[in-house]
Chain A
């Protein structure tokens, strides 16, 4: 109820009401963008862009259509993230930023240094394999595997059909299997 009031007031141009919406949803939007882009600065930019677009799009947002505000923001974030990834393709294949490199080399739960190094190597290979997917394949896989969206919810977020989402998902998994086969076989991961 409070959120609806904030939406109405923000639509009238009240920045404080919009700030309340920002505070309530910033974490969820940032987590989605970061999971997809794997870069704090890019994810911050997408967070900012998402809320600016949301503000400008408020007159067109109608909660009565059944899409809640969080899902609507996620949809904007998804599109902004795909655009950001397209813009930063060159940077993406470049060296990691200090924060990402630190996260990559952070010790795992194991105290065995050799195992930690192996784990960091595999994590890097997974990131590289994800980076080799098309922006849409990557977003579909991110939303399904990490964010636990259903294919129907992804179709809504991407404004696409469920069949198309499934095709992207199958291709993404097929490509990941191809790029990571060496590690799947060598490390003998199984359920």
Chain B
């Protein structure tokens, strides 16, 4: 067993989640590795410290005030579900998506990463672009366009549908999209928190797509639910236009 694996197991072991076989190998490793034994001791003391200083219990909220807020939030509404698009409207976008990934990469490289030119006019006289750094908006909009077909495909996933009808994007393209996400977030984080939040959501979704195994039949539905619950497509439409 490697020390890295032992470090992971010392956490799982604390929570009683290490399997019997792993635990036996872990104990054997500790007997031979003083560094890991010391680290286990420190980890156990950390948990003891945290437990000894557990925060106070939650205070009692004003339940009626919260309920009034809920009532206002749902007043006049009746729960509704957006109808899914018919299967024939799902776009076979893999090819165009990959081409757009390339274009977005070029845009980010050209506008997003190049040092900003010194302004010729004072900040007060400069026109506002909604708070986003100059030049990064087109790259951000192009990035959202690239992702849209992939997300639409998942958003309209129906359990049991055949795999051959789905958009296929290879892992390297997905990883390129994740890299672009990081670069865009770096540029937008301070001046446009809403865009940065959306990029966080998109990053999470991309990771889920990349990490899903070939035989993982639950993932598409989970990714669909993630897109739906976080209103990702709606936010993309709004932020693309601002």
Contact = CB atoms under 8 A, between A and B. Distances in A.
Nearest to B79: A58
A184 interface: yes
Nearest to B58: A34
B46 A57 contact: no
Given A51-B70, A56-B74, A119 B53 contact: yes
A44 B49 contact: no
Interface string B213-238: 00000000010011011100000000
A22 B59 CA distance: 18
Interface residues of B, number: 52
A55 B56 contact: no
B29 to A, nearest CB: 16
B120 interface: no
Contacts of A119: 53
B28 interface: no
A4 interface: no
Contacts of A52: 69-70, 73-74
B211 A161 contact: yes
A191 B66 contact: no
Contact of A15 (B74, B81, B197, B230): B74
Nearest to A56: B79
B61 A40 contact: yes
Contact of B59 (A15, A40, A150): A40
Contacts of B61: 30, 40, 43-44, 47
Given A177-B46, A189-B45, A150 B56 contact: no
B1 interface: no
A43 B43 contact: no
Given A83-B197, A123-B55, A159-B225, A44 B79 contact: no
Contact of B43 (A13, A31, A38, A177): A177
The majority secondary structure among interface residues of chain B is helix
Contacts of A38: 55
Nearest to B50: A126
B208 A160 contact: yes
B78 interface: yes
Contacts of A190: 41, 44-45, 48
B77 A30 contact: no
A107 B24 CA distance: 43
A106 interface: yes
Contacts of A126: 49-50, 53, 55
A173 B11 contact: yes
Contacts of A187: 49
A77 B43 CA distance: 29
B42 A170 contact: no
A169 interface: yes
Given A173-B46, A187-B49, A99 B59 contact: yes
B58 A30 contact: yes
A119 to B, nearest CB: 6
Interface of A: 10-13, 15, 18-19, 22, 26, 30-31, 34-35, 38, 40, 43-44, 47-48, 51-53, 55-60, 76, 79, 83, 86-87, 99, 103, 106, 119, 122-123, 126-127, 144-146, 150-151, 159-161, 163-164, 166, 169-170, 173-174, 176-177, 180-181, 183-184, 187-191
14 contacts: A11-B79, A40-B58, A48-B66, A52-B70, A52-B73, A56-B77, A56-B80, A79-B230, A103-B59, A145-B50, A173-B43, A176-B50, A184-B45, A190-B41
4 closest pairs, A vs B, by CB?
A52-B73, A34-B58, A59-B81, A189-B48
Given A150-B17, A151-B12, A191-B45, 16 more contacts: A30-B58, A34-B58, A51-B73, A53-B229, A56-B79, A60-B81, A60-B225, A87-B193, A146-B54, A163-B211, A170-B11, A176-B50, A177-B43, A184-B45, A188-B45, A190-B45
